[in-house]
Chain A
């Protein structure tokens, strides 16, 4: 990576230029891709959401070294927050309470007023983003709390369990009271409105958004919004990484006992890692809900948690540019390949052996196994410190010296 470098510490001038070039490319991309229709931009929209997720997981796994296998739960919380606070669903919730637990139901009716009872809650983007972030952060701390004394593999399994528990609740909280609408999920989630302009486009315009006198497709509008959010998340992450808190996380990852002996309150610092990582997931989830217009529990299974982990692992655990790269590859590549591999198989075999879904899974599995066996620090690991040149990119998080 000699041409493009993002190492601000060692080469700030070139890093800045690289960043600007990359930014320019990202901004032009949709204009260029529109020639092929909406699908490529839509793929990148989802990829940007996944990048946010990967960056959030990177805080937990990469910085603090805590293997969270239930991370998708925070995506779910963000998405369902959008589902409940930006759709007609809350009206159904109140109605359900009135039918099953009238005392609570009537209290809610009194509290919310006729407008909400009829139409549900419809908050704007500027409220949904912080609310979903904060709510996810709270859950992050809650779900992280029981894991604080657990060792690596147990922590992974427990977080996995939590992820499943959240999904099971989302899937079943439609009886006796309907909160999440169960397996059917929540529909009709409001699209994002920025300064009064709906990103889903004006009705009847074929999903075109009118802004500054220009007209652009809805997927492009969402693209720019997600790009901005992604940039924020990258900015937050990298500021966190290069700070007192970031060092405390790495210290815990490297040697928790030594970290404690140096005065780090590991309990609080770990909770912060969970909370911060979760908050990124929550924001991404809310965006997902608004973008897709509906949410259902099947989008938040263990497979998704693992997918995000695969992105972090493939790209470079703990290295922000690497994680972004991993996100782009694993979110976009399966789609790219699908356009190539499926027709190819039809041409050669007359049938499709490996379809898109299978391909996706195959890539995730291979990414994790192959990387761990050959290049554990990822495709794009942190640049080495000033050192005797060592082929030691293979050591991920080795702690200290020989332990007797």
Chain B
């Protein structure tokens, strides 16, 4: 287990005439909460999609836990140890809350057709373990009592928690959250902050995109700022906040 969990260098991605990402890289240490901020359209979600295998980059090197990983397919990335949530919440709406998390356990389990049909001891045990682990994760994020509800009937804030629980079920080394606080009110954001701190206390590493600058400043150990696809600042929150390039990117020149 190396200290540096994620090392990404020199990622570029072009969409037709638009250079969405231009030489972006980040380094995340184990156990950190790492923030990625920037104005709208800066390329944050594009970067996420690249490192989790949804988009193919034009250039870039990717290293997780000291080993290179190839973000060619999302399921390979999940298997390697990066789990993500989505800006526009992508739950399995018709499944129950518990089942959503159980799907998260898929990547670390192995029973297949044979186990499904014959339900021998190993299969039954695995299924019971999946169920138990999923319920525990639901309790951990605070929605354990909704286990039997249909997922799309949860409140917005609880849906976000569910997505996080599902991502945690994949036993990731890195939890990548795309705007988990979007659309939340102040109380919900506090709850989210508590949850993320709790997850960090469990030893997980978190990469976080967010717009709420105050939330980020109080939560993250380090931050990278993107603007027009290029990194313009990197460092601890206090420094980033004072960085003139960052201020200009957000508020315009002359501030």
Q: A interface vs B, CB < 8 Å?
A: 236, 239-240, 243-248, 250-251, 254-255, 257-266, 272, 276, 384-388, 390, 395, 397-404
- Chain A interface: which of B103-111, B214-222, B240-248? B103-111
Q: Is the CB of B153 within 8 A of A263?
A: no
Which of A240, A251, A272 touches B95 (beta carbons < 8 Å)?
A251
> Complex formed: what's the CA distance from A261 to B49 in Å?
10
Q: Which residues of B contact A236 (CB under 8 A)?
A: 117
> Complex formed: what's the CA distance from A166 to B113 in Å?
27
Q: Is the CB of B92 within 8 A of A251?
A: yes
Q: Which residues of A contact B92 (CB under 8 A)?
A: 250-251, 254-255, 258-259, 399-400
Whether, in the assembled complex, B149 has its beta carbon less than 8 Å from a beta carbon of chain A, the answer is yes
Q: Which residues of A contact B83 (CB under 8 A)?
A: 261-262
Q: Is the CB of A263 within 8 A of B79?
A: yes
Q: Is the CB of A401 within 8 A of B107?
A: no
Q: Is the CB of B107 within 8 A of A264?
A: yes
Q: In chain B, what residue has the closest Cβ to A275?
A: B113
Whether, in the assembled complex, B115 has its beta carbon less than 8 Å from a beta carbon of chain A, the answer is yes
- Chain A interface: which of B1-9, B16-24, B70-78? B70-78
Q: Is the CB of B117 within 8 A of A257?
A: no
Interface positions of B from 67 to 111, Cβ below 8 Å from A:
73-75, 77-79, 83-84, 86-96, 99, 102-104, 106-109, 111
Q: Is the CB of A245 within 8 A of B113?
A: yes
Q: Is the CB of A263 within 8 A of B75?
A: yes
Q: Is the CB of A240 within 8 A of B113?
A: yes
> Complex formed: what's the CA distance from A46 to B44 in Å?
58
Nearest Cβ distance between residue B212 and chain A, in whole angstroms? 18
> Complex formed: what's the CA distance from A4 to B169 in Å?
37
Nearest Cβ distance between residue B136 and chain A, in whole angstroms? 18
Q: Is the CB of A404 within 8 A of B150?
A: no
Q: Per-position contact with A for B117-138: 1 when CB-CB < 8 Å, else 0?
A: 1010001001100100000000
Q: Per-position contact with A for B184-224: 1 when CB-CB < 8 Å, else 0?
A: 00000000000000000000000000000000000000000
Q: Per-position contact with A for B144-183: 1 when CB-CB < 8 Å, else 0?
A: 0000111011001001000000110110000000000000
From known contacts A254-B93, A390-B153, infer whether A260 and B73 are also in contact, taking CB-CB under 8 Å: yes
From known contacts A245-B113, A387-B153, infer whether A397 and B106 are also in contact, taking CB-CB under 8 Å: no
Q: Which residues of A contact B90 (CB under 8 A)?
A: 255, 257-258, 261, 399-401
> Complex formed: what's the CA distance from A257 to B91 in Å?
10
> Complex formed: what's the CA distance from A394 to B106 in Å?
29
Q: Is the CB of A262 within 8 A of B170?
A: yes
Could you list 16 A-B pairs, sorted by A, with CB under 8 Å?
A239-B117, A240-B117, A244-B111, A244-B115, A244-B126, A246-B116, A247-B99, A247-B103, A248-B106, A254-B92, A254-B93, A258-B90, A263-B78, A263-B107, A400-B91, A401-B156
> Complex formed: what's the CA distance from A169 to B114 in Å?
34
Q: Is the CB of A243 within 8 A of B111?
A: yes
Which of B78, B89, B112 touches A400 (beta carbons < 8 Å)?
B89
Nearest Cβ distance between residue A59 and chain B, in whole angstroms? 11
Whether, in the assembled complex, B54 has its beta carbon less than 8 Å from a beta carbon of chain A, the answer is yes
Which of B77, B113, B115, B170 touches A276 (beta carbons < 8 Å)?
B113
Whether, in the assembled complex, B52 has its beta carbon less than 8 Å from a beta carbon of chain A, the answer is yes
Interface size on B, residues (CB 8 A): 52
Q: Which residues of B contact A261 (CB under 8 A)?
A: 52, 54, 74-75, 77-78, 83-84, 86, 90
Q: Is the CB of A250 within 8 A of B117?
A: no
Interface positions of B from 30 to 54, Cβ below 8 Å from A:
52-54
Nearest Cβ distance between residue A26 and chain B, in whole angstroms? 23
Q: Is the CB of B130 within 8 A of A244?
A: yes
Which of B91, B102, B113, B119 touches A401 (beta carbons < 8 Å)?
B91
Q: Is the CB of A262 within 8 A of B107?
A: yes
> Complex formed: what's the CA distance from A245 to B92 in Å?
15
Q: Is the CB of A401 within 8 A of B89?
A: yes
Which of B91, B106, B127 touches A264 (beta carbons < 8 Å)?
B106
From known contacts A240-B117, A262-B170, infer whether A404 and B149 are also in contact, taking CB-CB under 8 Å: no
> Complex formed: what's the CA distance from A276 to B114 in Å?
12
> Complex formed: what's the CA distance from A254 to B94 in Å?
7
> Complex formed: what's the CA distance from A247 to B92 in Å?
10
Q: Which residues of B contact A400 (CB under 8 A)?
A: 88-93, 152
> Complex formed: what's the CA distance from A263 to B103 in Å?
9
Q: Is the CB of B93 within 8 A of A264?
A: no
> Complex formed: what's the CA distance from A385 to B54 in Å?
32
Q: Is the CB of A247 within 8 A of B117?
A: no
> Complex formed: what's the CA distance from A385 to B95 in Å?
9
> Complex formed: what's the CA distance from A266 to B74 in Å?
10
Q: Which residues of B contact A250 (CB under 8 A)?
A: 92, 94-95, 99
Which of B117, B153, B170 touches A388 (beta carbons < 8 Å)?
B153
Nearest Cβ distance between residue A144 and chain B, in whole angstroms? 15
Nearest Cβ distance between residue A381 and chain B, in whole angstroms? 11
> Complex formed: what's the CA distance from A239 to B127 in Å?
12
Nearest Cβ distance between residue B169 and chain A, in whole angstroms? 8
Q: In chain B, what residue has the closest Cβ to A260?
A: B74
Q: Which residues of A contact B87 (CB under 8 A)?
A: 404
Nearest Cβ distance between residue A248 and chain B, in whole angstroms? 6
Q: Which residues of A contact B116 (CB under 8 A)?
A: 239-240, 243-246
Nearest Cβ distance between residue A160 and chain B, in whole angstroms? 26
A244, A263, A272, A398: residue with the most chain B Cβ atoms closer than 10 Å: A263
Q: Is the CB of B115 within 8 A of A243?
A: yes
Nearest Cβ distance between residue A401 and chain B, in whole angstroms? 5
Nearest Cβ distance between residue B188 and chain A, in whole angstroms? 16
Nearest Cβ distance between residue A117 and chain B, in whole angstroms? 38
> Complex formed: what's the CA distance from A240 to B112 in Å?
9
Q: Which residues of B contact A384 (CB under 8 A)?
A: 150
Q: Which residues of A contact B53 (CB under 8 A)?
A: 260
Q: Which residues of A contact B96 (CB under 8 A)?
A: 385
